[in-house]
Amino acid sequence: MPRLTTLPRTGPDDSHSPAQPSGGQAPGVPRPAERFALRVAPSPIDGQGVFAEEAIPARQKVGEIRGEAISVQEARLRARSRARIHIIELNARRALDATGTPGLLRFVNHSCGPNTQLKRQQGRVEFYSLRDISPGEELTADYGETHHEGRLRCRCGAPQCKGQL
């Protein structure tokens, strides 16, 4: 399972704001990296989150995160200097930094009871729906181990929440 380098910390930060649609693209229209209409909005979990604008059937590819391929060592250095982190470790040596990319899925928040699953595919991270997702529902993923070592309180609100990350 891909490992999240670190989860977003609470507090305002412009780097956690979604990129504006390019080329006059209307909000809510799927981008090449997303297969369904999604929007970024304030999340009850943390900061911004990704919400379905249309029904997403179970077991469907929702989209993928694209970004800069970097070493895990570089990922950890970058994580220490940022308030909001959009880096996922792909394996023991490589990571993907989606900071500053236009894709919406970099805003998917962690949940101990997620509705999407991450899959590593040829250097990118793909999101697949685990069950039917309703319009207006926030997309979440279980990012697994983090480098917080149990020091960060989980705020996902899922019945099976582990409490700490």
pLDDT tens readout for residues 105-125:
989 999 999 999 999 877 778
The region that residue 122 occupies, defined by phi over 0 for left and psi between -120 and 50 for alpha, beta otherwise, is left
Per-residue burial over 52-62, b if 16 or more Cβ lie within 10 Å, else e, is bbeebeeeebb
Question: Quick one: tokens of 158?
Answer: 């899922």
Percent of the chain whose predicted confidence (pLDDT) is above 90: 39
pLDDT band (50, 70, 90) for residue 39:
very high
Query: Hey, what domains does the chain have and what are their CATH numbers?
Result: 3-8+29-141 (2.170.270.10)
Asked whether residue 91 carries a pLDDT value surpassing 60, the answer given is yes
State the average pLDDT over residues 61-89.
84
The pLDDT of residue 147 is 53
The C-alpha torsion from 23 through 28 and 33 to 36, rounded to 10°, is -150
- Please give the C-alpha separations between residue 27 and each of 18, 30, 34, 45, in angstroms, as whole numbers: 11, 9, 13, 22
Question: Quick one: tokens of 48?
Answer: 């911004």
The pLDDT of residue 56 is 98
Q: What is the mean pLDDT of the chain?
A: 79
